[in-house]
Structure 1
Amino acid sequence: MDSAISVTNISASQVSYFILMGFPGIHSWQHWLSLPLALLYFLALGANLLILITIQQEPTLQEPMYHLLGILAVVDMGLATTIMPKILAIFWFDGKVISLPECFAQMYAIHCLFGMESGIFLCMAMDRYIAICHPLRYPSIVTETFVIKSAGLMVLRNGLLVIPVPVLAAQRHYCSNNKINHCLCSNLGVISLACDDNTMNKFYQLILGWIIIGIDVTLVFSSYGLILRSVLRLNSVEAMAKALSTCSSHLILILFFYTSIIVLSVSHLIEKSIPLVPVLFNVLHNIIPPALNPMVYALRTHELRLGFQRLLGMGDNMSTK
């Protein structure tokens, strides 16, 4: 009898919306952070859109490697757009309220696109591995079909594996506190408000991280280990330098992406003493890579730089420098 009454009370007091409080500890002046965050967001949108247009318009960039870069640009824009409009609404218009369906949808999109970014990095690592270690077979293996199948597999993998995250979160009972000390609907931040047991949610979050990030990291660095071994066997210093140059931009982004994951994970260990740190890192992890990726490729990829120059009408003389 008591159990039935308890369940009835929980259901009756189930909250219908969450309130995103923003950055914990700095609510009074957090709106000033909207300026650099907005700048990063618009930079991410503009730079990635420029990459997409350049790849589409430039005949010399109609290769699988650049098509994978185009897919990464789409994922980056999606990842940034999933969180930034709501964050800017919180800072500029005090739009802190978010409905439960909207919150769970954002949670799904963040996890799915985050896994997609990791998956595309894996596809690009495989592309570089085949190009350097099996150059004669590269044209027959890495084709448009390879790109389509790889992207489709990443969408299917992440789309299906992430479904339980918002589903499990939606099954929890939120019966008292509905204030989330965050700028976005992170899984751990939301389920911490649940009145019932959230052990399964945390367990699946851990399993999901090992399945997606763990497998991707292992395969990515295995590919680069094989690439390094193959490069060291080259007799020509010039050929060695050229091989390493083709991987440099990709390797920089991979190291930054996975290092930031480690930093984000470690930051959660100090959440109780300094709650601002993991929240800030979580937001930056979703906005800095989308802004950084196109800049690194633009600086490190000669063909892409030439494409930018031609697209922006900077003249043939400058493009040959």
Structure 2
Amino acid sequence: MSDSNTTSFTNPSTFILLGIPGLEEAHGWISIPFCTIYTIAVLGNITILFIVKREPSLHVPMYYFLCMLAITDLGLSMSTLPKMLAIFWFNSRDINFSACLAQMYFIHCFLVMESGIFMAMAFDRYIAICHPLRHSTILTNGVIAKINLAVLLRSSMLVLPYLLLARQWPYCKTNIIPHTYCEHMAVVKLACTDTRISSYYGLFVVFCVFCLDVLLIAVSYTQILKAIFSLPTKDARVKTFGTCISHLCAILSFYIPGFFSSLTYRFGSTVPLHFHILIANMYLLVPPMLNPIIYGVRTKQIWGRVLWLFAHKKTKNFS
């Protein structure tokens, strides 16, 4: 390895992403499931957007939020996977300093945005189940647009200090990042100054944003469960709860590995580095793949439309 990677310097022109340290020999094999996940995520989320756009009956709040989630998942996948696969396939480890900070910003921005969308979708389920007669008057198109705008502004403004702080630190230790992407704390740890403010602000975002979102989601579902158990028949309870299952599965697949990844990076000194990086990758890659599958399979309108499109195309080809 060249001396420029380890000698002292103030502001590196490039960082070097190692991929998954300790598993370099397996990068080619690891790229296979990663590429598969990426393909499913992109195709699945584009399919969701296409079907909702083409089907007028799906132009309702739940599917507007689902489209916002699909756009966020596409952004998250495209911010991470192309460079990851370049590392695995072509050993292209260099990344420009500004490009690294931009990737860091967009990754964390999309993560905060995804959390906000889940909170908005929980609010939609609460209104639909607990106040069904007022659903259309409360969640108008204007209100939905304002909610989506608020989610976008919140994520972009909260993550902006990540970028501003990381840009101002002097980097004189090394420019080697033992990761597959420019994760916030992985970059900040390379600085040769006191970066506690970045660490503390990162924890603030984790606990005050994600924990707040989880708390509001929990409150919404507590009220939803109360309303479900008050329904007169078992069939009605099962049917109503069935409309929430896909949302709950998506929430669990997003938050559980997210909290684990964030906390182990700061406090899990005994966790093997390659294991942590794999978990961090799964946290970014799996939800964008699972969300269109979960919502597509569990939602009759979307699944029915997908089957219709394939059947229509097959009939057209035979004719």
Aligned equivalent of 2:66: 69
Aligned equivalent of 2:137: 140
When residues 158 and 29 of structure 1 are mapped into structure 2, their CA distance, relative to the original with a 3 A threshold, is same
Aligned equivalent of 2:187: 190
Aligned equivalent of 1:248: 245
* TM-score, structure 2 as length reference: 0.92
CA distance in 2, matches of 1:271, 1:46: 37
CA distance in 2, matches of 1:194, 1:233: 56
CA distance in 2, matches of 1:314, 1:244: 32
Per-residue CA deviations over 1:258-278 (Å, capped at 9, x if unaligned) read 112233245434445511111
Aligned equivalent of 1:319: none
> Unpaired segments of 5 or more residues in structure 1?
1-8, 316-321
**Corresponding position: 1:161 with 2:152:** no
**Corresponding position: 1:52 with 2:49:** yes
Aligned equivalent of 2:316: none
**Corresponding position: 1:214 with 2:211:** yes
> Number of residues paired by the alignment?
308
8 Å CA contact 2:10–2:170 kept in 1: the answer is no
CA distance in 2, matches of 1:251, 1:42: 24
8 Å CA contact 2:246–2:295 kept in 1: the answer is yes
CA distance in 2, matches of 1:196, 1:292: 40
Q: 23, 36, 40: which one pairs with 1:43?
A: 40
CA distance in 2, matches of 1:262, 1:209: 8
- 1:95-244 equivalences under 5 Å are 95-244=92-241
Per-residue CA deviations over 1:15-46 (Å, capped at 9, x if unaligned) read 22110001011122222211110110011000
Secondary structure of the residue aligned to 1:124 is: helix
8 Å CA contact 1:31–1:92 kept in 2: the answer is yes
**Corresponding position: 1:287 with 2:281:** no
2:258 is aligned with what amino acid? I
Which shifted more, 212-221 or 22-31?
22-31
CA RMSD of aligned residues (A): 1.9
Deviation of residue 13 (structure 1)? 4.0
> Unpaired segments of 5 or more residues in structure 2?
1-6, 314-319
Deviation of residue 304 (structure 1)? 1.2
1:85 is aligned with what amino acid? P
CA distance in 1, matches of 2:38, 2:79: 11
- Identity score, percent: 38
Deviation of residue 212 (structure 1)? 1.4
Aligned equivalent of 2:272: 274
Secondary structure of the residue aligned to 2:173 is: coil
CA distance in 1, matches of 2:276, 2:264: 5
Q: 301, 308, 311: which one pairs with 1:310?
A: 308
Secondary structure of the residue aligned to 1:163 is: helix
Deviation of residue 314 (structure 1)? 4.7
8 Å CA contact 1:116–1:154 kept in 2: the answer is yes
When residues 39 and 32 of structure 1 are mapped into structure 2, their CA distance, relative to the original with a 3 A threshold, is same
CA distance in 1, matches of 2:167, 2:207: 23
